[in-house]
Structure 1
Amino acid sequence: MPALVVSELRAPAAGPAEGVLGDVLRRAVGRGPTDLLLSSPGTGETWTAAELLADAEAVAAGLLARHDPGARIATCLGNGPAPVLVQLGVALAGMTLVPVNPRSRPAEVEHALRLSGAVLAIAAEEVAGNPVADLCAAVDGVEVLRVGTDWRAALPWAAPGGLPVVEPQSLAQVQFTSGTTGRAKGVRITHAGMVATGAAFAERLGPTAGRVWCNPMPLFHTAGNVLGVVGALSAGAEHVVLPFAPEPVLQALEQRRVSMLSAAPTLLDLLAAAGPPPLPDLRVLFTGGMTVTPAFVDRVEQVFGARLSITFGMTETCGAVLQTSPEDPDPVRRETVGAPLAGTDVRIAGPDGDVVPPGTPGELWVRGARITRGYLDDPVATAEAIDPDGWLHTGDLAEMSPAGACRVVGRLKDMIKTGGENVSPVEVEEVLVEHPDVARAAVVGVPDPRWGELVVAFVVPAGERDPSPAELTAHCRDRLSPFKVPRSWRVVDELPMTASAKVQRAELRRIAAAT
């Protein structure tokens, strides 16, 4: 394509609707009813395409025996086959899924169930010591199905019968934001958005990704239940689901001969530290959720011997809107989050909303089928996020190359203003992780009466040796303007993260201000 003169890409006119989640499953059955589509290393169970459809229809029938189409059904489950079967069953029943983080605290569970209007919660007895079924049962008006060791016994099975017609624009899920900017909002996601995103994600990965996808990403989040569940169905791949822990994941990679692994950057770091065995079948690693640096890409690809695909997305975009391909040139794969997925308009806008030239930072705006229809019962927040022309204002700062690849350079609200100068945390973090003693870094600003804000860096050591503040300061001074160099240093074991693997900068600002 010719070089861009402005930082905007428009998707081709939308074709016919790609259907609903049930259609994706039925198409997979049509391609190969005996193809393996789901496996659970934790329980030893597997499903062919025909078996997965039969079980999903039986769950749908069981749900319809209890509630009418349109009902809101919550899940509070750890990774495994149960959340996948419930997700598919809810979709076939014409109901709306409300996935809730099973590590949520009582107030968070109550907020999610009440805001969504859930009538039924399918909840684990406990996850990581959290008695999540009891937390759901404490919310008046919500029926609870408790899932213990025998997960099959807890699900609502019934003989399949007639299923309702589901429209592509109907509500498929109410997903909750990570809550980094206040109380979690309920994001309305349609069947059309999920189907379009899963298909585009699989297409961008291409045939290199192979036929066995390992997904330890949380199935209560779009990374797990859209990019994972819908993406694998779209590709006709075996979807290997399991909770994240380094040893079981490494075993699954070997035993299931996994060709594509989906994991957040922090999870990839843990796997790399565990010393992965030779994995000749592994072709593609997929990641996102936080800033990925060229040094990280090089390290991960060297350790695993596989190509890395990076995405940028948010709950409001079904988990992905920009993505690199494993076949992209090295500069694109190492330095950007790729080009827009099919069916997405992207604009880099200046403060006045006008499109900026390529290479110029501005706010990332996106529009298209995968964009949320707004926040549940929150018209004010919806109007603040989505303008009358349908553009979602992400709040992220990005720049677009003349070839159409995007690089995310920070958050508007995270920009640090010190001594009258603007500092991008991402720019400083990219410099810090180039130091051999630094595995990860996060940079925030804290109030200061003289400078407005001071630049504070939190660093996670790459080995047993703590990085020296003096060495890190010298490292930064060689590469950054003086006003960008952190004035204060904190060495920490881990960075506080959201469930979607994003750094909790608000928590870091609180810690920095308190100390």
Structure 2
Amino acid sequence: MLSIVEAIRQRATPESLALVQKDRSLTYAALFQQADALAADIRQHLPADLPAPVRTDRLRIGVHFPSSLEYVPLALATLLAGGCFVPIPDELADEEKRELATRTALDLVLVAEPLATWLPEATQPLGHLTLAGQKILLQRLPPIIPSFPTADFEALNPAFIRFSSGTTGKSKGVLLSHESLLERITAANEGLRIGAADRVLWVLPMAHHFAVSIILYLYHGATTLIEETHMGEDLLRAGATHAATVMYGSPVHYRQLVEAPPVAEWTTLRLAVATAAALDAATAEKFRARFHQDLVQGLGIIELGLPVLNLAGAQEAPEAIGLPLSAYECSLQDDTGHEPPQGDPGEICLRGKGMFDAYLDPWLPRAQALDANGWFPTGDLGRRDPAGRVTICGRKKTLINVGGMKVFPEEVERVLDSHPKVQRSLVEARLHPLYGEVPIVRYIPSPEGPPTTMELRNHCRTHLAGYKIPLLFSSVPDLPLTASGKLKRA
């Protein structure tokens, strides 16, 4: 069976730099030396009664470790040891971490010393690994009866389980095989064109983006530059100091970058990709003016990878996610399953290479998650412009129906978030006896103090039709977020 790690090893140039973090670095040879040693230690500590990878039930190994250079060899070691890699995001609450462990039926977990407080009391220590002088504890979790069919799970050659963001409803465990990982990183790179000469500035959490980002960079021989902070001037300095050629981050990172003081000149950048949240035109324009490069938005989705990228339309339509890459197709579908007229919203449906293999809990194989024509319905609503580019306008489940008129919460939030006295907003529906539903908003005010309701109404009136203006404005200290920083909607 295919091993994605061995596929990377076969292509790697041993003396080339794989990872850099400040004054530390690993060549590809050193990376695999560390990963091999860690994998051997994992296998050595397995108790006799635990199913080995050569038998049934592929081991599910959780990794609870900070984003860092060391995260990479540790993650690769879980795969080399015959396990299925399950990242456990550090920012989850203890209860959420325990739920993740239960839903994935984790066999083992690797945690940095000291022992994590969220682990069940009956967790059994199996020993420890040592990585860069740091002790990593190998723990066996109490037996959990999987809610999914283990024979079907094993048959897929599982490599990776990651839970979707869960912006609406319960998040889903997305399962990827080694084969699907290879397909999707190959397909995505037809657009990114990352190669051995590239140095990628890394700013995203590894527990959320490792499998289809770090794996892609390693497979194509690039150097990943791991930046520890998200401050604009630190990003600028790191990009210039390490001659980064590619940056892959969220709009938040780019907003900080364009406002950073001129601490360095970053002249080597050839590609900047924005993902994980909606990109605003103002940030894209400021980025182009400062760095003389387009800020390219893409649709990153755990079920497919990076199927849509705005490579050709970043100047004309910076807020669009663009056109599908050559390995993918993108269809907009209305409630009847047909493409709506140009400019009207429809659900974004995708198909192509490297699609996820199954949802883990509840178990749902890929074939059953697709429609009769093989399309994967994303739940995102989009509009198509005359050039065929797609712009996301909201989520199908969050659409607000005001007397038959459609209101996308995301559109209203973009307007509210552009007010100087608003840090972030969340627009939701409230039942109304006359109109059926009306939008209301909760928002976090800026440190200078909250705006008046009249200020917000006037700001909305300048940019939005009357039926889109929230009926109620409420100032709050914080808003509910998913583990990846997206707004959590009811």
TM-score (norm 2): 0.82
In the alignment, is the contact (CA less than 8 A) between 2:314 and 2:320 conserved in 1?
no
Structure 1 residues 269 and 439, CA, compared in 2 at 3 Å: closer, same or farther? farther
- Listed one character per residue, the Cα deviations across residues 161-206 of structure 1 (whole Å, up to 9, x for unaligned) are xxxxxx9952111112223334433211122222233333333233
**Mapped pair 1:228 → 2:213:** yes
Aligned mates of 1:315, 1:25 — CA distance in 2: 21
In the alignment, is the contact (CA less than 8 A) between 1:82 and 1:152 conserved in 2?
no
In the alignment, is the contact (CA less than 8 A) between 2:199 and 2:223 conserved in 1?
yes
The code of the aligned residue for 2:308 comes to: L
Structure 1 residues 416 and 22, CA, compared in 2 at 3 Å: closer, same or farther? same
- Listed one character per residue, the Cα deviations across residues 321-367 of structure 1 (whole Å, up to 9, x for unaligned) are 22222x545124x0311222343232211112233344331111222
In the alignment, is the contact (CA less than 8 A) between 1:312 and 1:322 conserved in 2?
yes
Residue of structure 1 aligned with 2:4, choices 13, 21, 38: 21
Aligned mates of 2:170, 2:361 — CA distance in 1: 13
1:411, CA displacement in angstroms? 0.4
User: RMSD in angstroms over aligned alpha carbons?
Assistant: 3.4
1:153, CA displacement in angstroms? 4.2
In the alignment, is the contact (CA less than 8 A) between 1:125 and 1:134 conserved in 2?
no
- Listed one character per residue, the Cα deviations across residues 210-232 of structure 1 (whole Å, up to 9, x for unaligned) are 621121211111x2x03431221
Residue of structure 2 aligned with 1:498, choices 482, 486, 489: 482
Structure 1 residues 114 and 436, CA, compared in 2 at 3 Å: closer, same or farther? closer
Residue of structure 2 aligned with 1:39, choices 13, 20, 27: 20
Q: Number of aligned pairs?
A: 464
More helix by share: 1
1:295, CA displacement in angstroms? 2.1
Give the secondary-structure state (helix, strand or coil) at the position aligned to 1:154.
strand
Aligned mates of 2:380, 2:421 — CA distance in 1: 29
Give the secondary-structure state (helix, strand or coil) at the position aligned to 1:313.
strand
Which residue does 1:509 correspond to in 2? Answer: none
**Mapped pair 1:134 → 2:117:** yes
Structure 1 residues 144 and 503, CA, compared in 2 at 3 Å: closer, same or farther? farther
Structure 1 residues 347 and 20, CA, compared in 2 at 3 Å: closer, same or farther? farther
Which residue does 1:48 correspond to in 2? Answer: 27
More strand by share: 2
- Percent identity reads 28
Structure 1 residues 52 and 267, CA, compared in 2 at 3 Å: closer, same or farther? same
Aligned mates of 1:303, 1:495 — CA distance in 2: 32
Which residue does 2:100 correspond to in 1? Answer: 112
Give the secondary-structure state (helix, strand or coil) at the position aligned to 1:267.
helix
Aligned mates of 2:370, 2:112 — CA distance in 1: 35
Residue of structure 2 aligned with 1:261, choices 247, 254, 257: 247
Residue of structure 2 aligned with 1:346, choices 325, 330, 343: 330
Please identify, of 354-363 and 479-488, the stretch whose mean Cα deviation from structure 2 is larger: 354-363
Aligned mates of 1:134, 1:360 — CA distance in 2: 50
Aligned mates of 1:300, 1:461 — CA distance in 2: 26
Structure 1 residues 323 and 408, CA, compared in 2 at 3 Å: closer, same or farther? same
Structure 1 residues 196 and 331, CA, compared in 2 at 3 Å: closer, same or farther? farther
Which residue does 1:82 correspond to in 2? Answer: 70
Residue of structure 2 aligned with 1:122, choices 106, 110, 124: 110
Aligned mates of 1:168, 1:176 — CA distance in 2: 20
Which residue does 1:510 correspond to in 2? Answer: none
Which residue does 1:99 correspond to in 2? Answer: 87
Please identify, of 416-425 and 396-405, the stretch whose mean Cα deviation from structure 2 is larger: 396-405
Counterparts of 1:453-492 in structure 2 under 5 Å? 453-459=437-443, 464=448, 466-491=450-475
- Listed one character per residue, the Cα deviations across residues 249-279 of structure 1 (whole Å, up to 9, x for unaligned) are 4553343232222222223334445536332
Which residue does 1:292 correspond to in 2? Answer: 279
Q: Which runs of 5+ in 1 are unaligned?
A: 1-16, 157-166, 507-515
The code of the aligned residue for 1:393 comes to: P
In the alignment, is the contact (CA less than 8 A) between 2:62 and 2:109 conserved in 1?
yes
